[in-house]
Amino acid sequence: MDELPALLRRVSRIAFFFLSAGCLGWAIRPDLQNVFGGFMIGVIGGLAISWHLAWKLARLGDTIISGRKPRSGLGFLTRACIGLLAGVVSVRTLHFDLASTAAGLIASPLATLLLGILSRRRRSGSHPTDERGEKH
């Protein structure tokens, strides 16, 4: 459970990097403001989805540790609604590009997946076929 806050901080930093890159892109190429704006709205929505999932995982872990039966899942419907809300605000209200909004929504969960895989690989530190406990 100690790894979740560290992973969430890394994902937040990556999302903030994407947001700053989007701001720089918008400043450098104002003619592509609908692409960069949609991407930034998507990154904000993806970050909210990641924060919500981390909150649900922590709550579910606390419930299981205490011995109670969890009464709900991981909130897929809520996360889907956050993504849909980001898409609607981006396209209908701000007139940004839908494809770049979808790419922004995928950025934070993809960073979470990649960081999780890298942390598992780094933690093992040895080759999976190495024998353990045997003396040569």
**Whether residue 123 has pLDDT greater than 80:** no
Provide the mean pLDDT of the chain.
Answer: 86
Q: What is the 3-state secondary structure (H, E, C) of the chain?
A: CCHHHHHHHHHHHHHHHHHHHHHHHHHHCHHHHHHHHHHHHHHHHHHHHHHHHHHHHHHHHHHHHCCCCCCCCCCHHHHHHHHHHHHHHHHHHCCCCHHHHHHHHHHHHHHHHHHHHHHHHHHHCCCCCCCCCCCC
**Whether residue 47 has pLDDT greater than 80:** yes
**Confidence (pTM):** 0.81
Which pLDDT score is estimated for 134?
56
